[in-house]
Structure 1
Amino acid sequence: MAGNKAVAYQGPGRVEVVDTDYPEFELKDGPGVNPANVGRKVPHGAIVKAVATNICGSDQHMVRGRTTAPTGLILGHEITGEVVETGRDVEFIKVGDLVSVPFNIACGRCRNCKEGKTGVCENVNPDRPGSAYGYVDMGGWVGGQAEYVLVPYADWNLLRFPDKDQAMEKILDLAMLADIFPTGHHGCVTAGVGPGSTVYIAGAGPVGLAAAASAFLLGAAVVIVGDLNKERLAQARSFGCETADVSLGDPKDQVEQILGVPEVDCSVDAVGFEARGHGQDAGTERPATVLNSLMTTTRAGGSIGIPGLYVTGDPGAADDAAKEGSLSLRFGLGWARSHSFFTGQCPVMRYNRQLMMAILNDRVHIAKAVNATPIPLAQAAKGYADFDKGAASKFVLDPHGMLGSRA
């Protein structure tokens, strides 16, 4: 293969589909690649032809210029595809397999991987534990919003779908297994969602909607989704959620209107560090607003799952403290109410097989819940722009025209 096309970050507010190299079984120098990773051999890897590769809100943080991502970084960590080549050390994954690629890059050998903490693998990112494709400060593994992508440790990382024809019939649902479905599910599991739970989910973007679908799958009695975006709130209502429009004020009051009490059993933060204020402050960025509001909305002794992204470096933050990830949290309130907080990357491999089975056996329709919308790779820039404007859609790039009219 002579070449490849991929989506590259070109500075704040700009992405472009560029011609780039076809993957090899070696990590080459390039934008964002850690010098210690340059030249790293990958005989344990596989080259995957992307069938579906999604635009994520985490990508959007970089494209807005809210991270230290370098120009030219190839984006994309939500990858589903077909194996077209394997390295000499790959034993079980075969050419032709249709697979989901967890966004966490994990070696399967370190202490954390062996404990199931694949979001903080110790061997793939020289900067710190944890890695992902096409993401700032994650070691420099090339992103998968592309025609082809290299996946290291293929036998460990790849989830093979058992039946290709069945998988292609449900490919938009299965495309959510790379990140947002397990991530939303992780938020709910860590928050303690179970049969009969009342749940508040902050954020009606794709991760929030995936969390809401997961809450129902886990047996929640009532799922309330809060957001400022009326179209996204309507999408949440389309599959049975109650909603809270936080532009009207603190969600606690609307929770009371729905439940008769001003608190829920479990809460999930699916917003992250670009949170906006509530009520009169709805148009102003207030990065601690969601976390502080969840402490008032979650019952004493309850848990708060935090799959929403928080960063250690935010050059676009409103104040110097937030630029380093320091937020004005009411931590004393959380302590007084005996809350448990769960943070960090979702360990996708902990959940993806179970969620795959739920999809294949029609226990959940995640693509419908998040309004998965296929677009050609060439329209990536428009997809990013529409997503940034608040479209109530999960845009799925179709590099090879294999998704057809599936929607």
Structure 2
Amino acid sequence: MPGNHVVVYQGPGRVSVESIDYPKLELPTDVVDGLGLKKRAPHAAILKIVTTNICGSDQHMVRGRTTAPVGQTLGHEITGEVVEAGDDVLFVKTGDICSVPFNIACGRCRMCNEGKTGICLNVNPARPGAAYGYVDMGGWVGGQAEYVMVPYADFNLLPFPDRDRALEKILDLTMLSDIFPTGYHGAYTAGVTTGSTVYVAGAGPVGLAAAHAAQVLGASVVIVGDMIPERLQQARSFGCETVDLRQSGELSEMIEQIVGEPEVDAAVDAVGFEARGHGQGAGEQPATVLNDVMTISRAGAALGIPGLYVTGDPGGVDENAQIGQLGVRIGLGWAKSHRFTTGQCPVKQYNRLLMNMILSDKAQIAKAVNATVIPLSDAPQGYQDFDHGAAKKFVLDPHGMVPA
């Protein structure tokens, strides 16, 4: 039986690659004990991981900004080859290369039947919804590894139709597990459509994915705001306008200089709870992006909020922020009749259609987010570089399967 290695959180600012057991077709103890399910999982499959990505949500944990314990395995952006399937797996077969939605979903509960796979009721005793390798998400082993177990495989896995084509486009297809659907969800729920003017807060990978998704949806102008020059340059590299939030001045004035008016049709918060105020040396202001997007969105607009907000933040700037209670100007949003969409992206609503866009060369998400391949052993350095603002989406290649 092959070995298995996984990236593990070792305390604020530190991760390591550790040896763990090869996965079994079994559910985690937390799920079994908390929900009264059977441990044996004949509905599951084991995947040899082709690619697995470092996500900004992982980075929140590694910074010590969640309640993740030391020893938490990491990784929820997974693409892999099926090497073993349980007896109850009917439609996915050994050898298939598949995208794995980061949402773990049973496919049988009320939420799954309504298409709300981000809040499945049967995969996490703590709250609706689960994910691989994430705090409070059911105890599922992370996918920044060599092998991983995927439950309810027929429902969760998205097989690619052609192996050779999949490997050829793997740097785009690896983004289907989370970042591309999440960015698309942000833009789509913000109401982006043909001719829209759009503001995306944050030029990290999710913000860049949201910006590219807005282009795919037909936006006329996409403006991306950030404080890191390299990330703003990356946004410009595929046709976005940018605003440098290190500069003083009102965001609405910066928007007006680009589109001729101080408002946009749609806005996306791709930053989340570690938001910082504007200007040189600005400190953390966790509600600032939410208030910004309400301020610069026209009356009647929708706001997509794929940026992560948490219920427990040990590093929060005050007691309210530490429990996710923020100073949001909800009265402003109410007065402007804004609509808000929050929460995990239900990946399965989008991943098949976005796969088709990639395979037909209608979307170039790897280029937009600057996909950068590193071996699994270099994951600690990847986390450090990402934390320092690298304008890259790090893709881990555990088995050397990514073509040169």
Query: What interval of TM-score do these two structures reach, taking the shorter chain for normalisation?
Result: over 0.9
CA distance in structure 2 between the partners assigned to 1:173 and 1:251 by the alignment:
32
Check the 8 A contact 1:199/1:220 in 2, yes or no: yes
Q: Describe the superposition over 1:106-162 as per-residue Cα deviations: whole angstroms up to 9, x where unpaired.
A: 000011101110000011001110110000000011110000000000000000000
**Is contact 1:50–1:146 with CA below 8 Å preserved after alignment?**
yes
CA displacement 1:343-383 (0-9 Å, x = unmatched): 00000000000000000000011000000000000000000
Alignment of 1:210-225 (within 5 A): 210-225=209-224
Amino acid at match of 1:36: G
Letter in 1 for 2:389: G
Aligned mates of 2:69, 2:150 — CA distance in 1: 22
SS at match of 2:199: strand
Alpha-carbon RMSD across the aligned residues, in angstroms, is: 1.3
Shift, 1:28, TM fit: 4.5
The 5-angstrom pairing of residues 7-22 of structure 1 reads 7-22=7-22
The structure-2 alpha-carbon separation of the partners of 1:142 and 1:336, relative to structure 1 and needing over 3 Å to count, comes to same
Q: CA deviation at 1:201?
A: 0.2
Distance change (3 Å), C-alpha of 1:196 and 1:28: closer
- The Cα of 1:404 is off from its aligned counterpart by 3.6
Cα contact 1:34–1:140 (8 A) shared by 2: no
Deviation, 1:247, is 1.2
Residue 39 of structure 1 deviates from its aligned partner by 7.0
TM-score (structure 2 length as normaliser): 0.98
Aligned to 1:298: 297
Distance in 1, matches of 2:325 and 2:373, equals 37
The reply on whether 1:23 has 2:40 as its aligned counterpart is no
Shift in Å at residue 33 of structure 1?
7.3
- 2:389 corresponds to 1:390: yes
Q: Is the 8 A contact 2:31 2:124 kept in 1?
A: no
Alpha-carbon separation, structure 1, partners of 2:167 and 2:401: 9
Q: Deviations over 1:174-193 (max 9, x none)?
A: 00000000000000110000
The CA distance in 1 between the partners of 2:254 and 2:270, in whole Å, is 18
Name the CA distance, whole Å, in 2 between partners of 1:211 and 1:34. 36
1:33-79 CA-to-partner distances (Å, cap 9, x unmatched) read 78526973221000011100000000000000000111111100000
Q: 1:9 to 1:225 in 2, by over 3 A?
A: same
Following the alignment from structure 1 to structure 2, what is the Cα–Cα distance between the partners of residues 189 and 301?
15
Cα deviations by residue, 1:66-106 (Å, 9 ceiling, x for unpaired): 00111111100000010000011100000000000000000
Query: SS at the partner of 2:103?
Result: coil
Measured after TM superposition, the shift of residue 248 of structure 1 is: 1.0
Q: Bigger CA drift: 250-259 or 164-173?
A: 250-259
| Structure 2 partner of 1:4 | 4
Deviation at 1:196, TM superposition (A): 0.3
- Structure 1 unaligned regions, length at least 5: none
CA pair 222-292 structure 1, distance change in 2 beyond 3 A: same
| Corresponding residue number in structure 2 for 1:255 | 255
Kept in 2, the 8 Å contact 1:34–1:139? The answer is no
CA–CA separation in structure 2 for the residues paired with 1:222 and 1:87:
48
Runs of 4+ in 1 over 2 A off after TM superposition: 32-41
Residue aligning to 2:34: 36
Aligned partners of 2:315 and 2:6: how far apart in 1? Answer: 26
C-alpha separation in 2, matches of 1:63 and 1:402: 27
The letter of the residue matching 1:11 is: G
Structure 1 segment 143-162 matched on structure 2, within 5 A: 143-162=142-161
Between the aligned residues of both structures, percent identity stands at: 69
TM-superposition CA deviations, 1:192-230 (whole Å, max 9, x none) = 000000000000000000001100100000000000111
Distance 1:353 1:283 in 2: 41
Q: Which amino acid aligns with 2:11?
A: G
Shift of 1:2: 4.5
Q: In structure 1, how many angstroms separate the alpha carbons of the residues matched to 2:193 and 2:208? A: 17
In the alignment, is residue 124 of structure 1 matched against residue 113 of structure 2? no
Contact 2:31 2:123 survives alignment (8 Å): no
Shift of 1:295: 0.8
State the secondary structure of the residue aligned to 2:283: coil
Aligned runs of 1:2-401 on 2, under 5 Å?
Answer: 2-29=2-29, 35-36=33-34, 40-249=39-248, 250-279=250-279, 282-401=281-400
In the aligned structure 2, how far is the partner of 1:266 from the partner of 1:171? Answer: 31
CA distance in 2: counterparts of 1:404 and 1:172, whole angstroms: 9
CA distance in 2, matches of 1:334, 1:65: 31
Farther-moved stretch of structure 1 (262-271 vs 38-47): 38-47
Cα contact 2:168–2:403 (8 A) shared by 1: no
CA distance in 2, matches of 1:316, 1:302: 32
Cα offsets for 1:210-256 (capped at 9, x unmatched): 00110010000000000011100000000000001111133211100
Q: How many residues align?
A: 402
Aligned-residue offset at 1:257 = 0.3
Determine the C-alpha separation between the residues in 2 that align with 1:252 and 1:347: 32
Instruction: Give the Cα–Cα distance (whole angstroms) in 1 for the partners of residues 39 and 266 of structure 2.
Output: 43
How far apart are the structure 1 equivalents of 2:22 and 2:52? 17
